Structure 1
C-alpha cells in the first residue's frame, strides 16, 4: 500500500517525559505508524489485533505497553507497581485477559520459575523436590537450578509448581506480533521501544530527514517473514543450539540484496560454529553459500587444513580476479603462495609496495598508560601538538563535509526519525546513488569553501548522531588545527578512498596526528603516526592505509615503542 500523501505531516515524535504515560504514547506511536503505513504487510488477523489493542481502555493499554517493553513474556502481577495507569492493576489485568492479551496461570518450565521467584520462595515451595534430589534445604540457587531442572523437564501450571505460594503469574500473548511491528517501524530488531525515551532524555539526537512515500523498510510481507526467521536462527545459535539443526531452517536465497547480506552473515556465523564443532562438511557448505566478505578466506583456510589443496588452489585463483575487499586481496596472496609451494605451481607475483617510514622510541611508563598515550605525550611540543585521533579525525571531517550526501532522503535510506545514518550505507550502490551529491561536496575542496562548509556543519549539527562524526572527540580546537594544517588535496585523496569502500576503509587510520603549523612546506604541516608497542605488528587494513598515504604524498610514519627496562 503506498503511503498517504500527507505523511510529512505525521512524522512520529517522542512523548514528553512529564507525561506519566509517556511510554504508552511512545508505544502507540509505533503501533499507529505501522497500522497506517504498513497495513498491506499485515494479515487481516494482525490488523484486527492491532485495532483491538488501540480500542482498549487506557489503563489496559498502559499495562500492556509496560509488559511489551519489559524482558520476557512472563510476569508476576503482585510485582507490578504502576500507579500512573489510574486503576488497580488487577482490573487492568482482567481487562487484558478478557480480550485474550494475557494468559493467567500459564504452563511453564521449571527454569522460568527460577527467573521469577526468589530463593526463599523456591526453597519453601520446592521443598519436596529439593529433598528428593538429596540437596540440603540451604542449597544455593545455582545448585538448585542445575540439579532440579534436568530432573523435572516437563511444563506445568504455576499453581501446580508452587501450590503454597501466594502469587499470580501471567503470560503476555502475541509477542511475535509486537516484534513484527517493531521490525517494520525500525527496520531492525536492535532498536527498542526505549529509543524514544533516549531521544527525549537528550542521550541521542537524530537528523530529521524528510520521509517520502518510499520510506519503508519492507515492501513485501515475505521479506519481513524472512528477516524474522533469520533473526530467530541467529538467536538459536547464540543460545547454543547445534548449527546442524539451525541449518535446516535458514531460508533459501532470494533477490533482496539487503536480506541476502543478512543471510550471508548468518551463514558465516553458522559455518564458524560448525567448524569449531568439527563438522567441516557443513562449515564448508555454509561458507560457500555465504557471500560474506570474510567467508571465502575462511573457506580456503579450512580447505588448507583439510589438505584439500587442489580445491583451495582453484577457488583462490578464481577469487583473485574479483576480491571482495582489500584484506581478502592480501589474504589470497598469502594462501596462493603457500599452496603454490605445496603443489609445485609458480609462485604468484607479489604486488610492489612502498617503503614505510619508521622510527623507534624508548619510553618510561611507570603509570601503565597505553602505548598511544605515552607516545603522544612524548612527541607533543608547544609548537608541534599531537592528538590521539585514530579513526575519528579523517572520518569526522568526511562526515561534516559530506553531511548533505549522507543524509539525502533517497528511497530506502531512511524510514523513521531515529536513524544514526542511512540504512544503505554499506550497500554496493550507496555511493553510486549519491554520486552527484558526493561530487558536489568534494568539489568544494577546490577552494576554501570546504572549510566554511565543515565549520558550519560542525556548528549547526552539533550532537546529532552521525555514522562518521564522534562529537566528544572532534573538538573545535582539533577541527581548526586540522583545517589549518591538512591540505585540501590530501583530504580529497583520503575521502575518495573512503568512498571506495566505506565499510573497510573507515578503519585503519594511524593513531596519532602531529601538527606542524609553522612548517615551510604546506604539505608537511602535519604527520599521521601509527604507534606499535612491544610485540605488536601492523594489521593489513592499517598497512593498506599507510601505503596509500605514501603513494599519494600524505605524510605518515610508524612509531615502534619500547619500554625502558627499569
Structure 2
C-alpha cells in the first residue's frame, strides 16, 4: 500500500486480472478516507489506518478478506486464500501481533452454532444433552434451542471445545472499518464485498471536484449521529418496539444531509409504530418528519382514527402548496372523503383528461409488443424509436450535466459515483437551483442543441443516472433536437425535477418523429403501447395528463392479435 500521505489526484480501480485486486481496492478506500476525512478520526484511528499500510501484503489481504466477511468472528482453520504470497497462518500471526485480531474466549450460542458443525458440537455437548433428557442426535436447530436455555448468553470456548481454544478469532477493529465504510460510501447499505470485489472497475465515472467544503460530514459528531440513526433503523428492521427506538432518535440536526436521513428514519418509525398499535407515536413521528411521503401517511392515519377535523386542517392547508402529481392525487382522494365528514364543500380538483387511443391488430411475431408496434409504424420519412424512459431523461442529463455533478455538500463521497447521492432527496433542486436555471436559460437563447451535442461527444460512456448510452444514438439525438421544441423540453424537464424519484419513469414507450412537418410543435408524438390485457399505470396516466395540458402529442396504442379473432 502506498503511504496515506501521498496526494493522488484521482484514485484508480484495480485490474481484475490481479488476484489481489480486492486488496488494491481496499487500499484505495483506506487511503481516500485517511486523506479526505482524517480530521474526523481520532489520533488512534489515524494511527490504525497508517499501520494498515505497514503490514505485509499477505496480512493486509487476509485482513481485507476478514473485513468482507459477515460478522467479526471466524475460524482460523477455515481460512483458505491461495492467492496470498505467504501461508495464511503467518499472515494471521502478524495480525494478532499487531492487535488487528485476537482470540475469542467466549462465544454467544448463535455464533457457536454458526461457526461449528453438528458433527463437532454433538460430542462436546453429548453429556449435557443426556443430563437434560435429550438424545445426542438432536437436529442442530433443536439442539441450539435446548442449549440456549441451559448455557445462557455466552459460552466459554475452552470449557466445551478445548481443542479449538485458539481457533476462533475476533476482528478487533470492525467499528473502525464501519466508520471508514460510511465516510467513503455515504451510507451503510453498501457492503464491502459489493464494492471491493466489483464496483470500482465496473464503469467510467465523472471526475467530480472534492473539497473540504463539499463533504457531507464536517464534524466527527455528525458521523456519530449517522451511526446512531443506522442502529435505530437496524432495530426497526429487527422488529424492536418503535417506542424503544424513538427514545434513541437523535435530536434535529443542522446538517441538511443528515436531516434528510433523520426524516427517512422518522417515516419508517411512524410506519412501524402504527403496525405495532402505537398510533399516537406514529402520528408524532410522521408529523416531525418532512419526508415527501410522511404527510399523506399522517393524513390517512388520522382518517383511520376518525380525527377528521385534524386531517381536514392539514389537508386543506397542504392543498394550496405545490405538489407532485402523486401527492396531488392522494391528497385529492383524502379531501373528498374528509370534506363530507366535517361538512365542508369538496375542493374542486382538476379532472383527469381522456386519453387519445387507437387500436392496432397485428400478427404475432415473437417480438415484444412494443417492438412489433414500432416496426409496424416505421416509415422512412417518419421514423419510430423505442425509448420509454430514456430519451427525455438523457436530454435532461446532457443539458444539465454540470448541475447534476456539482460538488455540493453530501452529493459525492468518492470518485466512483454513478450520480449524486442526494438525487432523490427533496433538497436536490433547491441546492442547485441557480445552476439548473442557467441550463434552462440555454433553452431560451437557442444554445441548448450545441451544448447537448458537445456534452454527448465529450462525456461519451461516463456514468450518468439520466443517460443510457446504449440507447441514445447520434441519429436519435439529432432527430430529437430537430423535432422536439425547446419549450416542450423545458416543461418536461421541470416536471422531472419536481419529483425525480417519481417522474423519471412513466414516459410512453415509443416516439415517432415527423421531421417534414412545418409546425415544430407537431414534429413528434409519443405513443404508449399496451398489449392484450395490459392497462395504464398511475404514473403513466399522470404523464399523459401532463402532456394533454401542455399540448404535447401523446397517444395510447392498444394492440390485439390477429389470431385472437374479433
> Which position in structure 2 is the counterpart of 1:266?
265
In 1, Cα distance between equivalents of 2:379 and 2:322? 43
> Which position in structure 2 is the counterpart of 1:187?
186
In 2, Cα distance between equivalents of 1:58 and 1:198? 20
In 2, Cα distance between equivalents of 1:64 and 1:186? 20
> Which position in structure 1 is the counterpart of 2:281?
282
Q: Where in structure 2 are the equivalents of 1:545-564 lying within 5 Å?
A: 545-560=543-558
In 2, Cα distance between equivalents of 1:249 and 1:88? 45
In 2, Cα distance between equivalents of 1:167 and 1:384? 75
- Comparing 451-460 with 251-260, greater Cα deviation is found at 451-460
In 2, Cα distance between equivalents of 1:272 and 1:418? 34
TM-score scaled by length of structure 2: 0.86
Superposed CA RMSD in Å reads 3.5
Q: Residue 38 of structure 1: SS of its match in structure 2? A: helix
Q: Write out per-residue CA displacement over residues 22-53 of structure 1, whole angstroms, 9 at most, x where no aligned residue.
A: 33333233223323332322223333433444
> Which position in structure 1 is the counterpart of 2:508?
510
Q: Residue 268 of structure 1: SS of its match in structure 2? A: helix
Confirm or deny: 8 A CA contact 2:36 2:212 kept in the other structure.
no
In 2, Cα distance between equivalents of 1:466 and 1:59? 37
> Which position in structure 2 is the counterpart of 1:22?
21
Instruction: Label 1:52 to 1:396 Cα distance change in 2 as closer, same or farther (>3 A).
Output: same
Instruction: Label 1:329 to 1:448 Cα distance change in 2 as closer, same or farther (>3 A).
Output: closer
In 1, Cα distance between equivalents of 2:147 and 2:478? 65
TM-score scaled by length of structure 1: 0.86
What's the offset of the Cα at 1:255? Answer: 1.8
Q: Where in structure 2 are the equivalents of 1:313-324 lying within 5 Å?
A: 313-322=312-321
> Which position in structure 2 is the counterpart of 1:495?
493
Instruction: Label 1:384 to 1:441 Cα distance change in 2 as closer, same or farther (>3 A).
Output: same
What's the offset of the Cα at 1:146? Answer: 6.6
Q: Where in structure 2 are the equivalents of 1:277-316 lying within 5 Å?
A: 277-316=276-315
Instruction: Label 1:281 to 1:57 Cα distance change in 2 as closer, same or farther (>3 A).
Output: same
In 2, Cα distance between equivalents of 1:506 and 1:521? 28
Query: Where does the alignment leave 5 or more consecutive residues of structure 1 unmatched?
Result: none
Instruction: Label 1:532 to 1:109 Cα distance change in 2 as closer, same or farther (>3 A).
Output: farther
Q: Write out per-residue CA displacement over residues 461-481 of structure 1, whole angstroms, 9 at most, x where no aligned residue.
A: 232211211223334443344
In 2, Cα distance between equivalents of 1:295 and 1:404? 31
Give the aligned length.
Answer: 559
Report whether the alignment pairs 1:228 with 2:217: no
What's the offset of the Cα at 1:226? Answer: 0.9
> Which position in structure 2 is the counterpart of 1:97?
96
Instruction: Label 1:160 to 1:304 Cα distance change in 2 as closer, same or farther (>3 A).
Output: same
Q: Write out per-residue CA displacement over residues 339-379 of structure 1, whole angstroms, 9 at most, x where no aligned residue.
A: 11122211212235554323345667696x86656655665
> Which position in structure 2 is the counterpart of 1:327?
326
Confirm or deny: 8 A CA contact 1:330 1:540 kept in the other structure.
no
Confirm or deny: 8 A CA contact 1:389 1:513 kept in the other structure.
yes
Confirm or deny: 8 A CA contact 1:7 1:211 kept in the other structure.
no
In 1, Cα distance between equivalents of 2:409 and 2:284? 35
In 1, Cα distance between equivalents of 2:287 and 2:532? 38
Q: Where in structure 2 are the equivalents of 1:239-254 lying within 5 Å?
A: 239-254=238-253
Confirm or deny: 8 A CA contact 2:183 2:413 kept in the other structure.
no
> Which position in structure 2 is the counterpart of 1:115?
114
Q: Where in structure 2 are the equivalents of 1:350-389 lying within 5 Å?
A: 350-351=349-350, 354-361=353-360, 372=370, 376=374, 379=377, 384-389=382-387
Instruction: Label 1:446 to 1:535 Cα distance change in 2 as closer, same or farther (>3 A).
Output: same
Q: Residue 408 of structure 1: SS of its match in structure 2? A: coil
Q: Where in structure 2 are the equivalents of 1:358-437 lying within 5 Å?
A: 358-361=357-360, 372=370, 376=374, 379=377, 384-427=382-425, 430-437=428-435
In 1, Cα distance between equivalents of 2:121 and 2:542? 59
User: Structure 2 residue aligned with 1:544, among 528, 542, 561?
Assistant: 542
What's the offset of the Cα at 1:262? Answer: 0.9
